[in-house]
A and B are shown apart, each in its own frame.
Chain A
Amino acid sequence: MKKTIQTLILTLIFSTSIYGQSTERFIRIIGNAKKEIKADKAKVYFTISESKATKYSKNKEDITYEDAYKEVVSKFTELGISEDDIQKAFKKLNSYNNTSSKNFYIESDFNNLEKITNIVANGFRITDTKYLYGKIDDNLETELSLKAIQDAKRKAKTICNDIKMKVGKILNIEVKEGGFSSSTKENKESNTIKTYKVTITFKLID
């Protein structure tokens, strides 16, 4: 008889436990955070090409690729940029393509960017400017994750206050977005927004 009662109690506890787990009340909220990041460098893509004299052109003489290249290098030198900083770039399939035309790029800080884009030289043409985000603060991910957690907490509290319930302890945290890469990325925009998303499950209390 004693054994039967013990078994009954154990079964009761076990059943209640299973039931309790399956109906655990929760509020799962997504917390967000964002921060605007400014590019610290720019990558200027340009073409140097030979130019043939026409009746419409200012120069009445042909300018060879070598001469055009030398002129561009001297313009860069005036800005304190050495020839070694000029890097060769791949040609785009649809770009202007003659036998003596080459594509290059140069990485520059913002102080020189305006000066580079204002360079006027024979056969020199800027084709594109992209921005680089090389120095993303190591603490940014931590900062954003904390902000996202606070956002989730605030939202959960606001919702619970509205339905006259309480936010209990955290049951689960799931990071939906983040993991910033430290590598340099090219972007068309000089500003970009880094976002962070976290899903937090809180216990829901009456």
Chain B
Amino acid sequence: MRLFAILILLLTTLNTNAQNITLRVLGKATYAEYAETNGIIISINKSELDKITKLSDTISLIGINNKLVPVAGTNTTNKKKFRIEEKNLNLFDKLLIVCNDLKIKIDKVYYKLPEHKFENEDKNAILALNNATSQARIIANNLNCKIVKILNIDDDTTLADPLYDNIDMESERGKLVIKLLQLLGGGNSLHKTESSKPTRDGGYTILVTYKLKKT
């Protein structure tokens, strides 16, 4: 008798659980952060340092107020490097022309991206969650179900991927692997503000588990 009662109870519990449909959806939100300014790195032979004075005077005349700044650690026996940044694209074009006229070698043209702020990820997380909910609604409608409630929310941003777990982010090798993965993904590093691309593309993903009920 006792065994029978236990069996009935167990079956009832299992049956109740079986009626609950859970749905796990990956919500995604993508975003892009845009460059705020352009910059160049120039190198000058130490025997031609007077060109720096000429360049400074010329750019000041055309309306560029930013100054040439020596690039730390790039000073070698023969050459010295400087950088200058300019927000106004017309003035930046003029800067390139001036360098060309003065026969100054431009080593690099780069974009200055804004600093990535973690606070800005909040809205992307919500967008990812909304994306998951939209997908869940479509699936639930097709199953003649409705969403009862959210059971779990699991933050799954790119670096949380297990793929990154074994990478030593501090080592040179680890940094190279991350860079390679970012290049393959077509994005820029999250923390680098100097880039060869005018945008920093990013994404936010969230795994959401919903409880569904048959309508």
Contacts and interface: CB of A to CB of B under 8 A. Distances in A.
A162 B165 CA distance: 31
B2 A117 contact: no
A8 B121 contact: no
Interface residues of A, number: 52
| SS of A interface (majority) | mixed
A126 B126 contact: no
B152 A154 contact: no
Interface stretch (A23-31, A60-68, A77-85, A99-107): A23-31
A19 B17 contact: yes
A73 B1 CA distance: 99
A165 B191 CA distance: 32
A12 B10 CA distance: 8
Contacts of B169: 177, 195
A59 interface: no
Interface in A1-29: 3-4, 7-8, 11-12, 15, 19, 23, 25-29
Given A125-B77, A176-B160, A11 B10 contact: yes
B26 to A, nearest CB: 14
B75 A126 contact: yes
A30 B122 contact: no
Contacts of A118: 75
Contacts of B5: 4, 7-8
Given A15-B10, A195-B169, A27 B191 contact: no
Contacts of A155: 121-122, 125, 155
A115 to B, nearest CB: 10
A8 B153 contact: no
B146 to A, nearest CB: 16
Contacts of B165: 176
A162 B75 contact: no
Interface residues of B, number: 36
A28 B2 contact: no
Nearest to B167: A177
Contacts of A158: 122, 125-126
B36 interface: no
B59 interface: no
A27 to B, nearest CB: 4
B154 interface: yes
Nearest to A7: B2
Interface in B53-110: 70, 72-77
A147 B70 CA distance: 34
Contact of A23 (B119, B122, B125, B151): B151
A170 interface: no
Interface of B: 1-2, 5-6, 9-10, 13, 17, 70, 72-77, 118-119, 121-122, 125-126, 129, 149-155, 157, 159-160, 165, 169-170, 191
Interface of A: 3-4, 7-8, 11-12, 15, 19, 23, 25-30, 32-34, 42, 113-114, 117-118, 120, 124-127, 129-131, 151, 154-155, 158-159, 162-163, 165, 176-177, 180-181, 185, 188, 190, 193, 195, 197, 199, 204, 206
28 contacts: A7-B5, A8-B9, A11-B6, A19-B17, A25-B151, A27-B152, A28-B153, A28-B154, A28-B155, A33-B118, A118-B75, A125-B76, A129-B74, A151-B118, A154-B122, A155-B122, A159-B125, A163-B129, A165-B150, A177-B169, A181-B170, A185-B170, A197-B160, A199-B155, A199-B160, A204-B151, A204-B152, A206-B149
